[in-house]
A and B are shown apart, each in its own frame.
Chain A
Amino acid sequence: MSHVETMIPPQPAPPGTVRPFTAQRLIGNIALGVWLAASVGLFLLMVDGWDPEKFAKYGPSFLSGLGVTLGIVGSSITLGAILSLPIAFARMSKNKILGWAAYTYVYFFRGTPLIAQLFLVYYGLGSFRPQMEAIGLWWFFRDAWNCALLAFTLNTAAYQAEILRGAIQSVPRGQTEGAAALGLPPRVAFFKVILPQALIVALRPYGNEIILMIKGSAIVAIVTVFDLMGETRRAFSRTFDYQMYVWAAILYLIMVEILRNLWAWLEDRITRHLKR
């Protein structure tokens, strides 16, 4: 019978695995270094050019610009959502003419740049001043803000109609048939069975659309609406101070990031019954 006679002498812990210094790591460190240098550079630029007088003068106008941006995006998204309902249903209807008209509308507004649509409304419709005055609509088209609201609403309605249509059509047919088998009237089936499932699918594209509108709304600065971008351009043209653009960039990034995180949280919450 054999047994252990000597204990294995205590040994030092094995050396930790050394991560090799790969080319990837080198590139990654260089890239991070570039970002760090850029942010430090921007920070120094802002410290260097810091001027309390400028801050006091242009700070409030930046805030009011932020308000204008949020106002125009919020109202055009809301109005667009209302307008998108009939368009989406026309697009899905069996009536050929209705479907074709809705398709043309959507194709036009998704196929042309938002800025061209804005010019078409602001300068284009603005050139029909006598006719507008005759039918009493001139007060609306006189104001650049209203024109921007109109163009944005029409544009986002086209995008939202496509989102809504895609979401509704993504709900399997069996759901409609199941509701019919239970004897639910079509209206109830739509609102209680189809729409809730469709909205889960539509949530993420809706978030993307709002972000696109926030970013797209910067172009109203070109038609003399003083939103965040407009205030930035005004401040830059008066001071020739580059950090105005940096401030605007920071504000836009904060807006978009807040919305993105809010949407991620919302999606997490709404789909919690689907988690395993």
Chain B
Amino acid sequence: MSGLFAALSSAVAWLGSVIDPLCGPIGIFRLFGSGTLLACGNAGWGDEISYGFMITATLAIATLPVGLFVGFFIALAKQSEEKSLRLASNIYTTIFRGLPELLTLFIVYYGLQILVQQFLASLGYQGAVEINAFVAGMIALGVVFSAYCSEVLLSAFKAIPRGQYEAGDALGFHRGKTMRLIILPQLVRIALPGLGNLWMALLKDTALVSVIGLPDILRQTGVAARVSKQAFEFFAVACLLFLILAMLSSIVFSALERWTKRSEAVR
């Protein structure tokens, strides 16, 4: 198992080093940063920050499908006719939309640690257990994202007229096929702007994971700031990197929106 992980991580590391936009063969820091504090390699902090950039992007991208998947089913549960299902899903969103993300992160991080430790202790293993910060961050951010996502999807579901479901029935589709062929394409189109906002929020929330020790952009720039005593420059770089991520994703989302609207009637 650990061998598989090692092989996977080395493959990812190799791929990352080739397409690295900051310190790769044609990276920004490699081209413009040499001789400054942002140089790559041992001369500057470029490669550390570039590693953090990758971690932040990976965390956000890894959290997104989990959050979308869970959020979709919670949205379905919220509009079910079954009272207990609605109540359970409403409790979920109330809790995770009301808690600060930082607190959720701590609760997941320390709570998982205690749970796993107690479980292992009951099996007879006595020793310190350390939860992977990446996994804890993914769970906490995914839970928060899914809570918000379910609200966005719920309002998108409500915007689809009943007639669409009835059309599916009239065509003799069973429920899953109606959902897949008729409802989902419209749902994506309606929910995409809201989901875009949530993605931006997720991207910004990943910065919190630096607090539990994951070497993301903010942590790496923070270390650089502490060592080099040039805090303003390094935190400005961190902000710029987040801005770049935000700009890239707004480009991607506007392209996606155009793509989902390609079959809409031209007015």
Contact = CB atoms under 8 A, between A and B. Distances in A.
Contacts of A257: 94, 98
B105 to A, nearest CB: 10
Contact of A229 (B83, B84, B87, B100): B100
Nearest to B234: A124
Contact of A31 (B89, B205, B211): B89
A4 interface: no
Given A28-B88, A29-B84, A35-B88, A112 B242 contact: yes
Contacts of B94: 253, 257
A252 B80 contact: no
A242 B110 contact: yes
Interface stretch (A10-18, A125-133, A175-183): A125-133
Contact of A252 (B81, B98, B207): B98
Interface stretch (A51-59, A90-98, A186-194, A218-226): A218-226
Given A24-B81, A115-B218, A127-B232, A222 B238 contact: no
A243 to B, nearest CB: 11
A141 to B, nearest CB: 12
A256 B140 CA distance: 19
Interface residues of B, number: 49
Given A127-B229, A245-B103, A117 B239 contact: yes
A218 B229 contact: no
Given A28-B85, A256-B98, A257-B94, A115 B208 contact: yes
A24 B82 contact: yes
Contacts of B82: 22, 24-25, 28
Interface of A: 22, 24-25, 27-29, 31-32, 34-35, 107-108, 110-117, 119-120, 123-128, 214-219, 221-222, 229, 232-233, 236, 242, 245, 248-249, 252-253, 256-257, 260
Interface of B: 77, 80-89, 91, 94-95, 97-103, 106-107, 110-111, 114, 200, 204-208, 210-211, 218, 222, 225, 229-232, 235-236, 238-239, 242-243, 246-247
